[in-house]
Amino acid sequence: MVERRAYQRLLFSVEIDYQVLPQSPDQGISKTNSKDISAGGIRLVILEKIKPGRLLDLKFLLPGSALPICATGKVAWIEAFSIGSIDSSDAYDAGIEFIDIDPEDKEKIHLFVRSTL
């Protein structure tokens, strides 16, 4: 199988603050964790079904960094899975492509992934 990704991906869990755009008045910031990350995007575990194409405001810290990474991402795909045998609630894996990210932040992610692999 040929790898088609433009960026190396790292299995990596970090707490993420996200908000679906456009924001509605009753919507707050949601928290979740990532499953993996690359300079091109991030995979999140979320408890709501967000349609592909929707935009998210994202904010997270890389280890050893004092300043958060802030980016806008687009939901590229979403897939349901069950959290466990006791908890029957559904969760989703969501692939998020970074579409608006500071070039310095993108480079920080790239260097973090390369140095950790």
Could you give the CA distance from residue 23 to residue 27 in angstroms, rounded to a whole number? 6
Could you give the CA distance from residue 15 to residue 60 in angstroms, rounded to a whole number? 6
Domains by residue range for the chain, with CATH: 10-116 (2.40.10.220)
Q: 92 near 54, Cβ under 8 Å?
A: no
Confidence of residue 100 (pLDDT cuts 50, 70, 90): very high
Cis preceding-peptide flag for 103 (omega within 30 of 0): no
Rg (CA), the chain: 14
pLDDT tens digits for range 64-80 = 899 999 999 999 999 98
Give me the mean pLDDT over the 47-61 stretch: 95
Confidence of residue 86 (pLDDT cuts 50, 70, 90): very low
| High-pLDDT (> 70) share of the chain, % | 89
Q: Please, how many CA atoms are within 13 Å of residue 45, restricted to the half-sphere of its CB? A: 16
Could you give the CA distance from residue 97 to residue 90 in angstroms, rounded to a whole number? 23
| DSSP bridge partners of 33 | 15, 45
